[in-house]
Amino acid sequence: MTGAPRPPARRKLRIPALVAGAILAVTVAALGWLTVGDTNGCAVDAPSVFSPTYHISSASMAPVIQEGDWLWAERRYYCTHEPQRGDLAIFSMPKTPQAIFVKRIVGLPGDRVQVKQAELYINGEPIARDWVESTIHTDASGESRQLTRFMETFPDHDRYAVEVADVDAPAENTEEITVPAGQYFVLGDNRDQSLDSRMSDFGLVPRGFIADRPMLVPWSSDLGRIGTRLGASP
């Protein structure tokens, strides 16, 4: 007899899909379990909304942190460590106590912070940055725009990537702000797509509301990002 189908070969083709499905199910279950437990922040008045893992639902921190990433965080790291310029931080805000934000700390108490033509200035001095690339992106509406990527570097800190679309946008040209005691100025790395301390309706972050430090991407909708360590130079 010739030309007969071989069912075992068909079954073998299903094995990788079954294994991948099992891994996904276990990972999702583990991430769900890890969000249960200690939720306290650093200050007594900080809302209890914190967790060892976080799911990212916006692109405000791209390209370092992508929409669809899960983050593994070091819980209450900032309860015992002072935030430094360039640090990634997870925090809540008094105005929106049930919301969690991930941003980059750029201004410490006493610092004078300003953005001019998308360039960050601290105490009157520009923060070092290097051009990486400029590309044309088309959004879901079909509108094209240029996106420029820079590597920004604070002294004694790892380099990190920031993206800018419109250097003439109001958010890329701000008044100088002096950060008061007990407050911190934060920015998103995706500068044109971030709600952060440049906007008055967001404001500065109180020290006691800064809690966790992002460390790792244990899972992502982009499978190539699984295992990405955060805070290191790309």
Residue-level pLDDT at 164: 96
For each of the chain's 234 residues, which pLDDT tens digit applies? 445 555 544 444 444 433 444 444 444 445 444 445 679 999 988 999 999 999 999 999 999 999 999 999 999 999 999 999 999 999 999 999 999 999 999 999 999 999 999 999 999 999 999 999 999 877 777 788 889 999 999 998 889 999 999 999 999 999 999 999 999 999 999 999 999 999 999 999 999 999 999 999 999 999 999 999 996 443
| Residue 30: C-alpha distances to residues 64, 176, 193, 224 (Å) | 24, 45, 31, 19
Residue-level pLDDT at 36: 52
Residues 6+ apart with CB under 8 A from 35: 51, 52, 53
Range 145-154, long-range pairs (CB < 8 A, 24+ positions): 149/63, 151/234, 152/120, 152/127, 152/128, 153/86, 153/127, 153/128, 153/129, 154/84, 154/85, 154/86, 154/106, 154/127, 154/128
Domains of the chain: 38-229 (2.10.109.10)
Residue-level pLDDT at 124: 98
Q: CA 170, CA 198: separation in Å to the nearest integer?
A: 9
Q: pTM of the full predicted structure?
A: 0.83
Residue-level pLDDT at 173: 98
